Amino acid sequence: MPRIDCPYCGRIGSLYPERVIKGPSALTTYFCDACHAEWDEREDDVTPPAIPRRRLPKTRQDKQAEP
């Protein structure tokens, strides 16, 4: 089931998932727009997410440039 809340700040609806499929494995990278945390989760992994990476917030220009 896809995650809908951030495990670090608890905000609901602030996550943006990116799905990466390589061969038989699938990886989802999540980014929280509220606390700017970024982390990876594997589909078959049940362990809690590790320490998040920090990413600078996207500017309006960055968001408009996305397809």
Tokens of 66: 């996305």
Q: What's residue 42's pLDDT? A: 78
Confidence of residue 10 (pLDDT cuts 50, 70, 90): confident
Q: Is the pLDDT of residue 63 over 80?
A: no
Whole-model pTM? 0.59
Domain boundaries, the chain: 1-55
Q: In this predicted model, what pLDDT tens digit does every residue of 12-54 receive, in sequence order? A: 888 888 888 877 878 888 888 888 888 888 776 666 666 677 7
Q: Is the pLDDT of residue 1 over 60?
A: no
Q: What's residue 61's pLDDT? A: 75
Contacts for 49-58 with beta carbons within 8 Å, 24 or more apart?
A: 49/7, 52/8, 55/31, 57/33, 58/33
